[in-house]
Amino acid sequence: MPDAVLLVAALLVTELGMGWLALAMDVHWKQVHARARSPRSATVLRTLGTAALAASLTLCLVADTATMAVLVWMMLLAVSAATIAFVLSIRPRLLAPLAGVRRASIAR
């Protein structure tokens, strides 16, 4: 079932995108990383996040007709944003790999 694979991929890419967008914010970066972040990395993270969300929309459009795809994408955004918010409040360090942070420098 290639459609199912596409949709699972879309979900994962949306989560990734929301994760990057969250880490582009100072508050959430500090939850994951001890050291302050350079302003440039915020731009990089924001760009990565936006690109991931665009990629997930593309995946949805490949999987379904446009009207259906837009609905699926809109709901994936909601679910992913909520998941990332819960991860940040319960286990923020799960997002460390997204920030390209090495284990040693992870915030305690």
Partner 1 sequence: MFANFRLSLTWLHTWFGLVLGFVLMVAFFFGSMSVFDREIDRWSLPQTRIAAQPMPSFDRILAARFAQMTEPDPEQRELAAGRVTQPLPEKLKVTTWSAFTTHRDPVLSMFVGFEVPNSTLPDDQIFGDVTIDPRDGRVLSRDQLPIGSGFFYPMHFSLHISWYGVGYWIVGFAAIAMLAAIVSGVFMHRKIFREFFTFRPTRNLLRSTLDLHNLAGVVALPFHFLWALSGLIIFAGIYFPVIETMMHPLVEQHEREEATHTGLDLEPSGKPGRLSPVDAMVSAAKEKWASRGMPGEVGFLAVTHVGSSNAYVSIYRDSTDRVATAEGMHFDGATGRVIFEDPPVGPVETVNGFLEGMHLQQFRHWTLRWLIFVGGLLSCACIATGFIFYVEKRKRTHARDGHAGSRWVDALAVTTVTGMVVATLSILVVNRLLPENLPQRDLWEMSTFWLVWILTLVHAAWRSSALREARMSKAWPEQCWTIASLALSAAVLNAVTTGDHLGRTLSAGYWPVAGVDLMLLATAGIAAVAARKLQARARARVRDTVADNDTTLEQEPERA
1 lines the binding site for partner 1 (CB under 8 A): no
Give the nearest distance from C-beta 100 to partner 1 in angstroms: 19
Q: Which is nearer to partner 1, 54 or 68 (CB)?
A: 68
The single-letter DSSP state of residue 106 is: B
What backbone torsions phi and psi does residue 3 show, to the nearest 5 degrees? Answer: -60, -45
Q: What DSSP string runs through 19-41?
A: HHHHHTSHHHHHHHBSS---HHH
Site for partner 1 (CB under 8 A): which residue of 13, 16, 32, 88?
88
Q: Which is nearer to partner 1, 4 or 104 (CB)?
A: 4
